[in-house]
A = this chain, B = another copy of it.
Amino acid sequence: MNGSGTAPAAPTPSARPAYRRLSVEERRTQLIAAALVLFAHRAPEDVSLDDVAAAAKVSRPLVYRYFPGGKPQLYETALRSAADDLELCFAEPQTGPLTGRLAAVLDRYLAFVDEHDAGFGALLQGGSVAETSRTGAIVDGVRRAAAAQILKHLQVPEPGPRLRMMVRTWITAVEAASLIWLDEGKQPPVEELRDWLVDHFVALLTATSANDPQTAEVTRAALALERAEGPVGRLARQVIPVVSDAAHLL
């Protein structure tokens, strides 16, 4: 059933046989993990199957035995695995102020971005040779999962078009801000980025309330859960002095 652990070493010195026999599933997991580390830090076109074999300390033919489709299959599998990890980040208990839950999810998401930096950038910035309609579908699936989680926390079983557009737009804004953050050498500090993204959500939700009764209801319910010492209280107290000169607008 499993002869892969005894595959002959490849001629390159860096590819050595594994130290113990792994089960098929263990070996597969190990190869995906090695591929993920490589794809995280380089653009897919800069990762070869030889690199993956060397990182996993196995031969190139063994990598092909597990992934007969070669690099495209390995890339897609690694991406699928990263997407599953990312979707796990989104799970958050539905208790406490909404901004606290959002901050907790953003902390995990931004840790993921930090860890998968170059690969995350290459994937989302597109134009990669490794991109296919299937890899695009995996990324879209993550976006849909994120939107579904947010709508669940907003407790809206049948979100209307305005609220859905608001949530999807904010998710894109989070992606864009993450890419800019990577581009700018991970500045500002990740906690500041997270707080700004939470503020962005609160601001967009509130502005969308202006013309959408459903969003207004969601906003009222969300604000009722917030605390004066929390992010929304802080945001309100910091913004009021800025807008207070604009009494002519009321």
Q: Is A195 an interface residue (CB 8 A)?
A: yes
- Please name all residues of chain B whose beta carbon is closer than 8 Å to the beta carbon of A176 when the two chains form the complex: 168-169, 172-173
Contact B209 A242 (CB under 8 A): yes
A216 closest partner in B (C-beta): B242
Per-residue contact bits, chain A 61-102, to B (CB 8 Å; 1 contact, 0 not): 000000000000000000000000000000000000000000
Q: Is A144 an interface residue (CB 8 A)?
A: no
Indicate how many identical chains form the complex.
2
**Distance between Cα atoms of A124 and B127 in the complex (Å):** 11
- Could you tell me the distance in whole angstroms from the C-beta of A31 to the nearest C-beta in chain B? 26
Q: Is the interface of A mostly helix, strand, loop or mixed?
A: helix
Tell whether A199 pairs with B207 under 8 Å between CB atoms, given A136-B126, A216-B242, A236-B250: yes
Per-residue contact bits, chain A 169-194, to B (CB 8 Å; 1 contact, 0 not): 11011011100110010011000100
Contact B236 A249 (CB under 8 A): yes
Checking B125, B228, B246 against A250 with a beta-carbon cut-off of 8 angstroms, the contacting residue is B228
**Distance between Cα atoms of A181 and B125 in the complex (Å):** 21
Per-residue contact bits, chain A 212-250, to B (CB 8 Å; 1 contact, 0 not): 000010011001101110101111111110110110111
Checking B192, B206, B220, B243 against A245 with a beta-carbon cut-off of 8 angstroms, the contacting residue is B220
**Distance between Cα atoms of A223 and B228 in the complex (Å):** 26
Tell whether A204 pairs with B204 under 8 Å between CB atoms, given A161-B184, A168-B176: yes
- Please name all residues of chain B whose beta carbon is closer than 8 Å to the beta carbon of A164 when the two chains form the complex: 180
Contact B196 A203 (CB under 8 A): no
Interface centre among A132, A173, A208, A227 (most CB of B within 10 A): A173
- Please name all residues of chain B whose beta carbon is closer than 8 Å to the beta carbon of A203 when the two chains form the complex: 203-204, 206-207
Given contacts A126-B136, A210-B235, A227-B248, 7 further A-B contacts (CB under 8 A): A126-B127, A127-B131, A161-B188, A209-B238, A210-B238, A223-B249, A237-B250
A: which residues have CB within 8 A of B?
A: 125-127, 131-133, 135-136, 161-162, 164-165, 168-170, 172-173, 175-177, 180-181, 184, 187-188, 192, 195-196, 199-200, 202-204, 206-211, 216, 219-220, 223-224, 226-228, 230, 232-240, 242-243, 245-246, 248-250
Q: Which 6 A-B pairs have CB atoms at the shortest separation, nearest pair first?
A: A126-B126, A172-B176, A203-B207, A210-B238, A223-B246, A203-B203
